[in-house]
Chains A and B, each alone.
Chain A
Amino acid sequence: MRLRSARLRTIGRQLAAGLLTLFLISIVAFGMMSVRGPADIAHAKFGNQITTEQIDAFSKQYGLDKPVYVRYGKWLWNFAHGDMGNSYVTDVQVSTNVLPRFERTMILSFVALLIALPISVLIGVFQARRVGSLADLSLLSASVVVAALPEFVVGIGLLFVFAVELGWLPVDSATALTFASSFGEQAKAYVLPTATLVLAIVPYVARIARGSLREALGMPYTQAAALRGLPRRTVIWDHAMRNAGVPLVNAVAINIVYLLSGVIVVEWVFAFPGIGQGLVQATSTSDAFNVEAIALLMGAMFIVVSLAADFLVAYLNPRLKAAAAR
């Protein structure tokens, strides 16, 4: 009972920290986007020929004549109620631009993680079982090289091989995903972006998996289990992995936000219409409401993912549970 309430309190604390971070992101994003005055925005939109009266009318129409904190409060209130406002750059409702994008990005990141994590663990285990062998060393050097490459370089390489040379997959993902098309066409549009993200995640996680399992395999309890004649599979997956899993999930939890930031770049490479691409577009046109909305949604996504990883760590590590109870 005590244990349960302590865990609830930990969860509550982490949730509060997550909400606080989101609040911070909203302040930073809104504050930064308010640096430019209404005159700048109007000039950028209508050209330099417009009169002062037109600027005034424009800033009244979008409420830009009010002080920042008033605008921030109104924006946050509306946002919390599902109204993301109208972009004063494109005159389109922010939600109709952002929400379909958000859905696609969620699918992309989720599928990439779902594929990348098991593969990384398998590669890590494969390497840890034969540390120092030719297979291990070549995988290690390959992972150093792949991890060193920026995502867009990996993406361009894949694009060249599979879309241009082999012609198996579409060069840009936008056509299949924004216009009505068959499920097969849509699925194809996901393949290359997912593969690039997977390639960005795998070398990183495999390296951690190799390291932590290698350590666990050197422990006396593992050797004792092996000497007792237990099957190798049981020793590795039941004895060593149970202990190697905690630092592994921990490291993944810490780095997952950085790994997932890659989605912004990957989407741009393949013209994949997700929020990453939307963010870059909105950034280059200084589209305030779109930037703010996407910053909040991405922040929320990152926070949810790292919270989930935190819970997994607590679930895997009985000592943490006990520590939380104390």
Chain B
Amino acid sequence: MTTTSDVVGLTTAEVVEEEGRPPAAWRAILASTEGRIGVGIGAAVLFVIIFGRFFTPYPPNAVGIGGATTGPSAAHLLGTDSLGRDTLSRLLVGGTHIIVIPLIAVSLAWLLGGTLGMLGAYRGGTVDAVIARGFDLVMSLPPLLIVLVAIAALGTSNLVLVLTIMVVYLPRMGRLVRGATQAVITNEYVAAAQARGERTRAILFREVLPNIMAPTAADFALRITYAVIFVATLNFLGLGVKPPNADWGVMVADGRGYINLAPLGTLAPAAAIALLSIALNLIADALTQHVTRGGREIVPL
């Protein structure tokens, strides 16, 4: 579609679309100590989530592999759960859900919310008013309450989780994009594009989008962090992944009843979730500090 052109804005836009965020973001993360620690821990946890499934000592869903609710032993390094399933094997496969669902949901929220936000800020007037009021309306409802009511009404499934989490984050991300766009559209290159007679879509995605990537990328990282905690929490509450599939949040909840007998059954998955969310937080923090340059702004969840 777009050939290599003489307009500088175009080439930056291409890079942005391919990488998902400006290349400077990675350098900003790796430049700070907390960012490097975050990337280190995060890489380790991600490795377990992606490749752990190939190293399971036992089939993760096989019942009665060992005795019921045993502590750590040579055969079962982390012990077994109440159905005699191997905790280590379940730990190795149980991390997929809490990273995939947030990634899809937040990306969708970013795409839809961001488009609406840019459109509102660019068009102004009634369009903007309708979009902004709509955002306010959804944001006036407590997030956990929305998700719980939706699950109560529709039952739980991956689709319901993705959609409700998207609904929670869409206005929050959209509002940020709207604000960033309002700051950008007064620039001359936007006026120049308008004078060239470019269509709204072209102006928004080629002129505006590349210039609001930095704050949006930091926001995106922060939302992923929140969404991971959100999904882990829903799984813990028994409203996410259905048994018998292994999931860290579900394992924490299941093991909680046997915390006197086999504490590792609940502590090990809890630690895995803790490491993942600490890593993501450190990365998001490093990115936010790079963008705002003055400490992390407190963004409501």
Binding site for B on A (CB under 8 A): 21, 24-25, 28-29, 32-36, 144-145, 147-153, 156-157, 159-160, 164, 171, 204, 207-208, 211, 251, 254-255, 257-258, 261, 264-265, 268-269, 279-280, 282-284, 286-288, 291, 295, 298-299, 302
In the bound complex, what is the Cα–Cα distance between A264 and B273 (angstroms)? 19
Given A207-B298, A208-B298, the answer on whether A153 and B273 have CB atoms closer than 8 Å is: yes
- B267 touching A286, Cβ below 8 Å: no
In the bound complex, what is the Cα–Cα distance between A318 and B296 (angstroms)? 27
Chain A residues near B152 (CB, 8 Å)?
Answer: 32-33, 282-284, 286-288, 291
Chain B residues near A283 (CB, 8 Å)?
Answer: 148-149, 151-152, 239
- B155 touching A151, Cβ below 8 Å: no
- A171 touching B153, Cβ below 8 Å: no
- A156 touching B266, Cβ below 8 Å: yes
In the bound complex, what is the Cα–Cα distance between A204 and B281 (angstroms)? 13
Closest A residue, CB atoms, query B229: A150
Chain B residues near A286 (CB, 8 Å)?
Answer: 152-153, 155
Instruction: Beyond the given A148-B281, A261-B144, please list 9 additional residue pairs across the A-B interface where CB-CB is below 8 A.
Output: A32-B150, A149-B278, A150-B232, A153-B273, A160-B259, A280-B237, A295-B149, A299-B141, A299-B142
Given A21-B140, A33-B153, the answer on whether A152 and B281 have CB atoms closer than 8 Å is: no
Closest A residue, CB atoms, query B152: A283
- B145 touching A258, Cβ below 8 Å: no
Closest CB pairs A-B (n = 9): A148-B281, A32-B153, A283-B152, A258-B301, A148-B278, A261-B144, A150-B229, A21-B140, A291-B152
17 contacts between A and B (CB under 8 A): A21-B141, A25-B141, A28-B141, A148-B280, A150-B232, A152-B252, A153-B252, A153-B270, A153-B273, A153-B277, A156-B270, A255-B298, A258-B143, A261-B142, A265-B233, A283-B151, A284-B239
Decide if B86 is an interface residue (CB 8 Å cutoff): no
Chain A residues near B143 (CB, 8 Å)?
Answer: 258, 261
Closest B residue, CB atoms, query A291: B152
Binding site for A on B (CB under 8 A): 34, 137, 140-146, 148-155, 225, 229, 232-233, 236-239, 249, 252, 256, 259-260, 263, 266-267, 270, 273-274, 277-278, 280-282, 285, 295-296, 298, 300-301
In the bound complex, what is the Cα–Cα distance between A280 and B237 (angstroms)? 7
How many A-B residue pairs have C-beta atoms within 8 angstroms? Tell me.
Answer: 138
Closest B residue, CB atoms, query A156: B270
- B298 touching A156, Cβ below 8 Å: no
Q: Pick the contact of B148 from A157, A204, A279 — CB < 8 Å? A: A279
In the bound complex, what is the Cα–Cα distance between A298 and B274 (angstroms)? 28
In the bound complex, what is the Cα–Cα distance between A261 and B237 (angstroms)? 14
Chain B residues near A268 (CB, 8 Å)?
Answer: 236-237
- A298 touching B142, Cβ below 8 Å: yes
- B267 touching A160, Cβ below 8 Å: yes
Chain A residues near B151 (CB, 8 Å)?
Answer: 283
Report the minimal beta-carbon distance from A200 to chain B, rounded to whole angstroms.
11
Q: Pick the contact of A164 from B149, B260, B298 — CB < 8 Å? A: B260
In the bound complex, what is the Cα–Cα distance between A24 and B146 (angstroms)? 11
Scoring B145, B229, B277, B281 by chain A CB atoms within 10 A of each residue's CB, the highest score goes to B145
Q: Pick the contact of B295 from A36, A150, A159, A211 — CB < 8 Å? A: A211
Given A268-B237, A298-B145, the answer on whether A35 and B154 have CB atoms closer than 8 Å is: yes
- B145 touching A299, Cβ below 8 Å: yes
- B145 touching A147, Cβ below 8 Å: no
Chain B residues near A264 (CB, 8 Å)?
Answer: 144, 148, 237
- A291 touching B256, Cβ below 8 Å: no
In the bound complex, what is the Cα–Cα distance between A190 and B281 (angstroms)? 30
Given A24-B140, A148-B278, A148-B281, the answer on whether A156 and B239 have CB atoms closer than 8 Å is: no
Scoring A280, A282, A302 by chain B CB atoms within 10 A of each residue's CB, the highest score goes to A280
Closest B residue, CB atoms, query A150: B229
- A144 touching B273, Cβ below 8 Å: no
- B273 touching A255, Cβ below 8 Å: no
Q: Pick the contact of B236 from A34, A211, A265, A302 — CB < 8 Å? A: A265
Q: Pick the contact of A280 from B239, B280, B296 — CB < 8 Å? A: B239
Chain B residues near A279 (CB, 8 Å)?
Answer: 148
- B153 touching A36, Cβ below 8 Å: yes
Chain A residues near B155 (CB, 8 Å)?
Answer: 286
In the bound complex, what is the Cα–Cα distance between A264 and B237 (angstroms)? 9
In the bound complex, what is the Cα–Cα distance between A33 and B146 (angstroms)? 12
Q: Pick the contact of B233 from A36, A152, A208 — CB < 8 Å? A: A152
